[in-house]
Amino acid sequence: MEQILTLAGNNLISPIILSFALGVAASLARSDLSVPEAAAKALSIYLLFAIGFKGGVSVSSHGIDAKLGLTLLAGIILSAALPLIAFALLQVMTKLSRLDAAAVAAHYGSISIVTFVAATSVLESSDISSEGYMVAVAAAMEAPAILSALWLISRGGDGRRMDGDLMREIMLNGSIVLLVGAFFIGWATGEEGLAEISSFVVAPFKGVLCLFLLDMGLVAGRGLRGGSGVLRPGVLAFGITMPVIGSICGLGAGLLLGLSTGGVVLMMVLSASASYIAVPAAMRVALPEANPSIYLTLSLGVTFPFNLTLGIPLYVALATALTGV
Amino acid sequence: MEQILTLAGNNLISPIILSFALGVAASLARSDLSVPEAAAKALSIYLLFAIGFKGGVSVSSHGIDAKLGLTLLAGIILSAALPLIAFALLQVMTKLSRLDAAAVAAHYGSISIVTFVAATSVLESSDISSEGYMVAVAAAMEAPAILSALWLISRGGDGRRMDGDLMREIMLNGSIVLLVGAFFIGWATGEEGLAEISSFVVAPFKGVLCLFLLDMGLVAGRGLRGGSGVLRPGVLAFGITMPVIGSICGLGAGLLLGLSTGGVVLMMVLSASASYIAVPAAMRVALPEANPSIYLTLSLGVTFPFNLTLGIPLYVALATALTGV
Amino acid sequence: MEQILTLAGNNLISPIILSFALGVAASLARSDLSVPEAAAKALSIYLLFAIGFKGGVSVSSHGIDAKLGLTLLAGIILSAALPLIAFALLQVMTKLSRLDAAAVAAHYGSISIVTFVAATSVLESSDISSEGYMVAVAAAMEAPAILSALWLISRGGDGRRMDGDLMREIMLNGSIVLLVGAFFIGWATGEEGLAEISSFVVAPFKGVLCLFLLDMGLVAGRGLRGGSGVLRPGVLAFGITMPVIGSICGLGAGLLLGLSTGGVVLMMVLSASASYIAVPAAMRVALPEANPSIYLTLSLGVTFPFNLTLGIPLYVALATALTGV
Amino acid sequence: MQTHRAKRVEITIEAIMQSRLTEAVQKAGITGFTVLPVLGGSGRSGEWTRAGEIGRASGMVQMICIIRSEKLDDLLDAAFSVVERHIGVVSIVDCEVLRAERF
Amino acid sequence: MQTHRAKRVEITIEAIMQSRLTEAVQKAGITGFTVLPVLGGSGRSGEWTRAGEIGRASGMVQMICIIRSEKLDDLLDAAFSVVERHIGVVSIVDCEVLRAERF
Amino acid sequence: MQTHRAKRVEITIEAIMQSRLTEAVQKAGITGFTVLPVLGGSGRSGEWTRAGEIGRASGMVQMICIIRSEKLDDLLDAAFSVVERHIGVVSIVDCEVLRAERF
Ligand SMILES: Nc1ncnc2c1ncn2[C@@H]1O[C@H](COP(=O)(O)O)[C@@H](O)[C@H]1O
Ligand SMILES: Nc1ncnc2c1ncn2[C@@H]1O[C@H](COP(=O)(O)O)[C@@H](O)[C@H]1O
Ligand SMILES: Nc1ncnc2c1ncn2[C@@H]1O[C@H](COP(=O)(O)O)[C@@H](O)[C@H]1O
Ligand code: NA
Ligand code: NA
Ligand code: NA
């Protein structure tokens, strides 16, 4: 317990978390501080490229693990199954309509790549290594949750179905393509490739992450200001309960698969985190009647900060204890 | 004298100054070279974050100085008083209307953070250290000048007053919030935090400053081209006299406070520099009838380049001579 | 031969080339991956500034070569002459109208600065040094080709002529001004200036180039998708034949001038590459009736990838063999 | 100067729906349009701004389509089929154009 | 397709005044509008462009507001109270809209 | 509120021609206009988007010019002289403006 608190404490006063907090505070105080959309997108392109590339390099140097296939499969199953749990939980804990509940559920099956990135950066600081292919698992977990949520809705008698266009859009979503593409580039070019561009993808990484989290804080704060009306106690409680439940599922999967401590942490983080890019976009197309301020505020304003501040240290502590390292 | 010339010479052929000159030249030659607005804003966010953060780290490692409070107070007084001097000077030297004179005066009480940044980078090259909290002083000096200028106008019988909204906008101006926020982040995370992100906030700093000054040169050149009509000799002379007067006030304050050589230089630079972000925006809201091309051209086209090229070496020489280092 | 293949192989699996390939693939697969315009422009500003600056520093440390003047002259002559060859070739190989042929020809006389940058980065990896002033030669070769192409058209009886405005626009084109300006800044500040900003202009260079090529791949792929209709076999064949012919002209010039191996390679690359920024813009003004999808698709979709993947290793091999190093 | 009567249709729609609108409009035989970026706005679903956003879930674009009057109904049908279940605004204005042969 | 008469009001105003205009307009009971970015322009106070600017002192935005005719006067009064002492342009066009219930 | 009749002219033109259009329009005695960025579009020369572009060869801007009716012909002549050989669209709408003295 003490260890968790220390880790959480250290985590809380890292520049990364404080940058996020600064963004939230500035936004709630109605400061006009803002990051231009193009700059925010450029930062996210950098982060996706760097994290994918480094994952690929790590796979190229440690060789492919027999567990890769199984871990990918576990990720896909988790992504597809977690929305069902989330949906059930939402129907118990909140008064959201089936439509809104399904839309929210989809977010919790899918993943937040920034939470993943923040976790890798905590792992690095704590010298805990992890499987490079967890990046690929992250990519694999983006989409299945969307299908589950749409299935939940169609079961409810609503004839709405996934069309081919949407399917393609989801699978070829810019962030998935960049993450997976950079992963393969890193894999193909290996340590040699890394040496060429490490002063770009490694050295400034954490600093860039600070600015990106500043922006996420600004956007989250704006969302909280505008969307606080939808944050009934039940909904709010869900936003904190669900990541914990997700992380436990991820923990189980990680232990079963026999992943490294870092790998287990990342599996927990992926399961615990909620999408705020791919899934919201898909929901606007497939379920336009669902209220975006509910799922955006929950995902970016509640679950993301929870994972960033308390969740990650908790997951690290649990995984460390249970993998016995 | 020779020392000043050498320093000025060295200063003039630094990549930073030459980048600014390139921007001005390209703009005057009507080249279509331009930096996208979003990129320019991203550069300024980087610079504010880095300079604030480094200031905070420096305070965290050198401990808080008993002089911090007094220096902040001195900054606020200077910011509030300099517009009165500037206003009097403008009425003597130029034929500007009371309104235009007050608007210009506000700019000279407030500060230019890029001039501050450029000065810290000259100090670093010359191995002159300074108080980390000068960043906080910079932030504190942004706003009081605006109040002074509005008071000058209201004294003239014009019933215009500061409204609460404007007050909040000025105090929670994005650049102040970011500077102060990053300062606290640096303070809280200290050397450890710096170690994590120094390859982002320290290593590439000067290079980023070059590109930013290239952009400032482009904007200043455009302003000079469009606003050269307003630059009557008296106005022009003011743009060079006022920073010298300001710097002397800053020098006095710095010596009285017993700041380090670098601290005195920065106090001079803050007093000598003129705002071109926070104050112009406030003037457009509070004094929309004042002519923006006068204050923008003066601040960015005359005083900024003067400080950048001749002012800073002069202030360094004076401070070095008088603090006897 | 084997050496070429090895070099080509190494070249092909570099992060730079693979990033371009990723962009093309994402675009052809209709992924929504995209780099914001402002970010792409910022990347190009960085690359132009860095490459110009480093060229200038190199000239400042190796001194001016007696060959500088002659090399510049050779560059200008090549730029002016290559469109005539290209035009003749187009009339033999394709059925393009005179207007379209002239517009395409202009592109092949001018140069692609990214191809140049990619080549310098291959040279660096292979430890082959080159004359720093080749950057100035690159700048000098941008414009003459445009004049040649307009002369070709006016010879055809069409009274269209270059106006002064267009002339100024071409010569003071943002990318030329930045490249030449940064070259002079590098020259003036020398190794000392480089030391100040090398962690900005040197260290992250290749990584930035990767992201830039990702974007160029996205744009090229989009062009191929939209413009594939215009890529008749003859036109396509021209897009691969012409760079080879150009490179041979560059090779002859480089050998005659007695340039270093690296210098010969860069001369070949400049001659072989086709413009996709300065010339297309000039063509839209001067020859608006020419079909942009022909010249843009050829230049960016065919010749650029050819040079990037096969051309550069080929030119390096030829130059190495013939300069006997 | 000779001008010709036409309709200017302005469709403000979610960015994520842009490709679907484009396709529908093109299927209706209309090939000319211009898309403007939108910075922010307000409506029944609240206020929003694009500042700092990286996703495409929020954010709108504005498509402007200038057409001959006789094509108006086709365009509106196409647009409506896309915006029907979505937020968004369609407005039509009478206008005059130069170079009518282009429309 | 069934359309309904409405007014399209376009207000070009300094970026720095946007929040004040928004507030005034909302106080006048109007909740729907769209804000477009502006690249540059020219007027009695000269020519300007946003390229490379970091401040918000220069630079304008364009607010487009589609409303029922009966609300026009309220909107214009609200807008006028904000632009009165400021630079900026207000223009009104008659338009037709789909889905009138939204306005 | 008192409004005055005017014309709203919207010219969609290649970004590279913007300075030439501006000059021509100013020579025709018109000093007020606003330029909007354009994200993308489609026309007889195909579909395009500005995403990721660094050149100015592709890409358009939209100039909006509000003028008194009597200046319309001068403006159209000026605009036409520039767009004549180029792609681009010119449309004119009747509008009402506040503060007529500004136009
Ligand atoms: N009356 C209106 N005039 C202009 N734009 C509007 C109007 N109503 C809605 N919009 C735009 O459409 C978006 C969605 O509107 P709504 O569906 O009402 O939430 C808003 O955010 C605005 O950008
Ligand atoms: N007649 C006009 N048509 C369109 N936009 C205008 C017009 N006049 C002014 N503007 C816009 O309003 C800004 C300020 O105009 P002004 O107050 O005349 O300097 C200009 O920079 C333009 O963006
Ligand atoms: N009917 C139209 N309505 C609106 N914009 C158009 C129209 N036709 C063309 N455009 C715009 O003008 C550009 C060039 O058109 P075009 O000359 O037909 O290729 C297009 O890419 C659009 O941005
Ligand atoms: Na999850
Ligand atoms: Na000052
Ligand atoms: Na060439």
pLDDT in tens, A134-155: 999 999 999 999 999 999 988 8
Give the mean pLDDT of chain C.
Answer: 93
Which residues 17-46 of chain D have a CB within 8 Å of chain F? Answer: 22, 26, 31-37
CB pairs under 8 A between D and E: 68
Tens digits of per-residue pLDDT, F15-72? 999 999 999 999 999 999 999 999 999 998 888 888 888 877 778 999 999 999 999 9
Atom of ligand 2 nearest to the CA of F103: 1
Whether D13 contacts D43, CB under 8 Å = no
Tell me what pLDDT residue B320 has: 94
Residue A203 token pair? 């050295």
* Dist. CA C82 → ligand 6 center (Å): 7
E81 to chain B, any CB pair closer than 8 A? The answer is no
Confidence at A36, pLDDT banded by 50, 70, 90: very high
Between B186 and E55, name the one with better pLDDT. B186
Name, in order, each residue with C-beta under 8 angstroms of B15's C-beta and a sequence gap of 6 or more: B206, B210, C53, C185, C186, C189, C193, C196, C197
Nearest-CA residue for atom 8 of ligand 3: D32
A50 in Cβ contact with A212 (< 8 Å):
no
CB of D56 within 8 Å of any CB in chain A?
yes
User: Angle at Cα C127 formed by Cα C125 and Cα C132, nearest 5°?
Assistant: 100
Q: Average pLDDT of C84-101?
A: 96
Q: Which chains touch A (3 or more CB pairs under 8 A)?
A: B, C, D
Nearest to E35 among D38, D73, D76 (CB): D38
Distance between Cα D88 and ligand 1 center (Å): 6
Closest Cα to atom 7, ligand 3: which residue? Answer: D32
Mean pLDDT of the B217-222 span: 95
C134 Cα to the center of ligand 1, angstroms: 54
Categorize the per-residue pLDDT at A162 as very low, low, confident or very high, splitting at 50, 70 and 90: low
The C-alpha angle A310, A311, A316, rounded to 5 degrees, equals 105
Structure confidence at residue B325 as a pLDDT band (50, 70, 90): low
Quick check: F12 and D34 CB within 8 A?
yes
pLDDT digits (tens, 9 = 90+) for B246-256: 999 999 999 99
CATH number of this structure's domain E4-102, picked from the four choices 3.40.50.450, 3.40.109.10, 3.40.50.1100, 3.30.70.120:
3.30.70.120
Q: What is the pLDDT of residue B1?
A: 65
Q: Contacts by B154-161 with C-beta closer than 8 Å and gap 24+?
A: B156/B98, B160/B286, B160/B287
The reply to whether residue B29 touches residue C53, judged by beta carbons under 8 angstroms, is no
Sign of the dihedral through C-alpha B120, B125, B126, B130: positive
B-C CB pairs within 8 A amount to: 93
Q: Give the gyration radius of chain C's Cα atoms.
A: 19
Per-residue CA distances from D96 to C232, F18, F69, F73, F90 (Å):
40, 22, 13, 13, 8
pLDDT in tens, D4-44: 999 999 999 999 999 999 999 999 999 999 999 999 999 98
> CA A139, CA A164: separation in Å to the nearest integer?
20
Provide the angle, in degrees to the nearest 10, between the axes of the packed helices E18-27 and E72-83. 150
Q: Which ipTM did the prediction report?
A: 0.96
In one-letter notation, the amino acid at residue B301 is: G
Task: State the Cα–Cα distance between residues C295 and C106, nearest whole angstrom.
Answer: 9
Predicted local distance difference test score (pLDDT) of residue B161: 60
Rounded to whole angstroms, the Cα distance separating C292 from C296 reads: 6
Structure tokens at F13: 């033109």
Instruction: State in words which class domain C2-24+34-323 has.
Output: mainly alpha
pTM, entire model: 0.96
Hey, is C4 helix, strand or coil? helix
Report which ligand 2 atom has the smallest distance to the Cα of E87: 17
Cβ neighbours, 10 Å, residue D74: 16
Q: Which of F16, F54, F85 sits opposite C289 (nearest CB)?
A: F85
- pLDDT-based confidence at B162, cuts 50/70/90? low
* C-alpha to C-alpha distance for C103 and E20, rounded to whole angstroms: 51
Can you point out the beta strands (E) in chain F?
4-14, 33-37, 40-43, 46-49, 60-67, 88-97
What is the pLDDT, as a whole number, of residue A256? 96
B292 conformational bin, left if phi > 0, alpha if psi -120 to 50, beta if neither: alpha
Distance C228 CA to ligand 3 centre (A): 21
Tokens 């033109």 -> residue? F13
| pLDDT recorded at residue C228 | 81
Sequence ranges of the domains in chain E = 4-102
Q: Where are the domains of chain C?
A: 2-24+34-323
pLDDT of A325 over the 80 cut: no
* Amino acid in the structure at residue A60: S
- Cα separation, B72 vs B137, in Å, equals 5
Separation in Å, CA A251 to CA A228, A255, D62: 32, 6, 46
- Tokens 């570099």 locate to C14
Exposure letters B107-135 (e unless 16+ CB within 10 A, then b):
bbbbbbbbbbbbbbbbbbbbebebbbbbb
User: Could you report the per-residue pLDDT of E81-99, keeping only the tens digit for each?
Assistant: 998 889 889 999 999 999 8
pLDDT above 70: residue B75: yes
By CB neighbour count within 10 A (0-12 exposed, 13-18 middle, 19+ buried), where does D47 fall?
middle
Closest residue in chain E to residue B284, using alpha carbons only: E57
Query: Which residue in this structure is represented by tokens 């100024």?
Result: C168
Instruction: Please state the rounded mean pLDDT for residues D74-89.
Output: 92
Q: Looking at residue F51, what is its pLDDT?
A: 86
- What pLDDT sits at residue A1? 65
Q: Stretch A96-109: mean pLDDT, rounded?
A: 97
Local confidence band at B231 (pLDDT 50, 70, 90 cut-offs): confident
CB C304 within 8 Å of CB C273: yes
